Amino acid sequence: MTVSTDIEMRTRPSRRAGFEAAIPFSGRAALNAHSGASFVRPSYGLVNRAVQFCDILACVLAPVLLRRAWIVSADPLTVVQGLMIGLLAAVALLFALRMAGAYRVERYRRAEWSVVDVLGGWIVAVGVVAVVLWAFAPGMLGAKRWMVSWTLLLLSALIVERTVLFAVLRHAIRAGLLRRHVAVIGAGPLGEEMRARLLDAEGYGAYCFEGLYSEDASTAALGSGDVDDLCRLALEQRLDLIVIALPWEQAERIFALADKVQWISADVAAPIERSTFLSSATLATEVAGVPALTLSHHPFKGTEGLVKVIEDYVVAAIALIVLAPVILSVALAIRLEGRGPVLFRQERVGFSGRRFGIYKFRTMTVDPDDDGSLGTAKDNPRITKLGAFLRRTSLDELPQLFNVLKGEMSVVGPRPHVPNMFIEDLSYTETVRAYAARHRIKPGITGWAQINGMRGGIDSVAKARRGVELDLHYIKVWSLRFDLTIMLRTLFRHMAGPSVF
């Protein structure tokens, strides 16, 4: 296959604000940076879930492994019965440790606390299993050799697990993998206070302070720069939290700044006075001991991000294997139809505002002067006969599976647009204020907006706004089941024709 790369993105001087309204600076090198935010980020929540998974694994495997142990000559349980006892022990252990608040990183960092937690959970798990056996299989309590062996094996497995965890966690903390990278906006006293607190907290391995930034160039703060410099930083490296440290008397300014950085895949929070704002119903957090109101969340945190990435690679790999004959047939058909490349590569805006080259099957005759900013009308004379069929069935999107494997796209997500996309002679970001928030996750081959009428191009302001609403709804309510639903509806309704979905 050949790939056309001679379609260069042209920026219209009078409309330069299109993409830069969302990312307010210029510079091709910065936009093409590849060292920035990772989609999957280590977090305390991810560590806690990993520990819970290891606890479950230890409980389930203990009775199974005991069948192979030399100390038990005749196991009184079948494999299924052993698994049932293991699952029962796991439920009891997790319940006890959760109620005791033991699944917290600070509990793993001290050996004595870990030992207390393991012993407490182990006693509860063994006690629950003993009560259930007494009620439903009293003969098992007579198998003292098995009971003693199982309880000791379970305790040993939990202690070994916590020992390994302690070593891994200590290495992760020393390497700074669990630190939250934080930037502060605000050159006033509140900003200085947050700076001092975050620098103090750095020694505990909780935060990595990335700088104090002013609201604009007229109030430069401690040499870190203004919000535009913060946006450049976000393209070049990871940011986990942005603190807007302004007094709430300037609420309008706080929300304006939150809009300006909404494309960055990071949490955004503003410090609050505990007595004034904080209540049980308030969506609040703490930053270096200061209560703060969460204005927006980084989507796909911890485990969710890991699940999303695994889903993307597994689905894309399977799809490429299954659809290989279709992909090769389409490529051959395009080659036989006439002159021109089989694939073309066009620049799009992706995760955290980074640009990448999207792959598609060529469906039109090549025009080097078309930058894609105005979309493609259905009756465009450049669309070939085969291209019309590929567009109608979405087969022209199949090469984007390679973008997924490269980590540039997801299977499901907001559709990526060209950097200078226009709707009714206005830039997309000027038309829809929340548009930039779509860049907080990876773009997708298909998405919630596409299966709800957004296919075929965005040709009106109303459709643009509706598309952004659907994309933001997807980000808000994401689940693995939701992604599978979108994939199935895409496959059976939009590629194979009408369906029951």
Residue 380: its pLDDT value, please? 66
- Average pLDDT (338-367) is 85
Residue 484: its pLDDT value, please? 93
The amino acid present at 374, given as its one-letter code, is L
Strands 444-446, 290-296: pairing kind: unpaired
Q: Is the pLDDT of residue 472 over 60?
A: yes
Residue 364: its pLDDT value, please? 82
Are the CB atoms for 195 and 223 separated by under 8 Å? no
In sequence order, what are the beta bridge partners of 434? none
Q: CATH number for the 180-296 domain, one of 3.90.25.10, 3.40.50.720, 3.30.910.10, 1.10.645.10?
A: 3.40.50.720
Tokens at residue 311, please?
Answer: 């889903």
Q: Is 293 helix (H, G, I), strand (E, B) or coil?
A: strand
- Average pLDDT (332-355) is 86
- How far is CA 280 from its chain centroid? 28
How long, in residues, is the chain? 501
The residue ranking higher by pLDDT, 195 or 17, is 195
DSSP 295-362: EE--SS-THHHHHHHHHHHHHHHHHHHHTHHHHHHHHHHHHHHSSS-SEEEEEEE-GGG-EEEEEEE-
Q: With cut-offs at 50, 70 and 90, classify the pLDDT of residue 9.
A: very low
Are the CB atoms for 366 and 25 separated by under 8 Å? no
SS3 helix, strand, coil % of the chain, rounded to 5? 55, 15, 35
- Average pLDDT (346-356) is 85
In Å, what is the CA distance from 57 to each residue of 65, 89, 128, 144, 287? 12, 11, 18, 24, 34
- Ordered by start, the domain boundaries in the chain are 3-12+303-495, 44-174, 180-296
Long-range contacts of 189-195 (CB under 8 A, 24+ apart): 190/245, 190/246, 190/247, 190/271, 191/221, 191/245, 191/246, 193/245, 193/290, 194/243, 194/245, 194/271, 194/287, 194/288, 194/290, 195/222
Average pLDDT, the chain: 78
Residue 389 CB neighbours (<10 A) = 14
Residue 25: its pLDDT value, please? 38
Are the CB atoms for 230 and 30 separated by under 8 Å? no
In sequence order, what are the beta bridge partners of 185? 213, 244
Q: Is the pLDDT of residue 313 over 70?
A: yes
Strands 343-349, 355-361: pairing kind: antiparallel
The fraction of the chain above a pLDDT of 90, given in percent, is 23
The fraction of the chain above a pLDDT of 70, given in percent, is 76
- Average pLDDT (16-22) is 39
- Average pLDDT (261-282) is 71
Q: Is 291 helix (H, G, I), strand (E, B) or coil?
A: strand
Q: Is the pLDDT of residue 323 over 50?
A: yes
Helix (H) or strand (E) holding 461: helix 461-477
C-alpha angle 450-22-367 in degrees, rounded to nearest 5: 60
Residue 326: its pLDDT value, please? 94
Tokens at residue 353, please?
Answer: 């505002």
State pLDDT tens for residues 432-446: 666 777 888 899 999
C-alpha angle 297-235-472 in degrees, rounded to nearest 5: 35
Tokens at residue 418, please?
Answer: 């060209």
Are the CB atoms for 269 and 244 separated by under 8 Å? yes
Are the CB atoms for 342 and 386 separated by under 8 Å? no
The residue ranking higher by pLDDT, 345 or 204, is 345
Q: With cut-offs at 50, 70 and 90, classify the pLDDT of residue 81.
A: confident
Q: Is the pLDDT of residue 35 over 50?
A: no
Q: Is the pLDDT of residue 74 over 90?
A: no
Q: Is the pLDDT of residue 49 over 50?
A: yes
The residue ranking higher by pLDDT, 135 or 219, is 135
- Average pLDDT (50-79) is 77
- Average pLDDT (19-46) is 51
Sign, CA torsion 466/467/468/472: positive
Q: With cut-offs at 50, 70 and 90, classify the pLDDT of residue 424.
A: low
Give dist(CA 174, CA 134) in Å, integer. 48
- Average pLDDT (86-96) is 94
Helix (H) or strand (E) holding 17: helix 17-20
- Average pLDDT (111-128) is 89
pTM of structure: 0.70
- Average pLDDT (62-70) is 74
- Which strand ranges, in their side-by-side order, compose the sheet holding 284-287? 207-213, 180-185, 241-244, 267-271, 290-296, 284-287
Q: Is the pLDDT of residue 394 over 90?
A: no
Residue 434: its pLDDT value, please? 67
Q: Is the pLDDT of residue 260 over 80?
A: yes
Q: With cut-offs at 50, 70 and 90, classify the pLDDT of residue 314.
A: very high
Give dist(CA 89, CA 75) in Å, integer. 18
- Average pLDDT (98-112) is 83
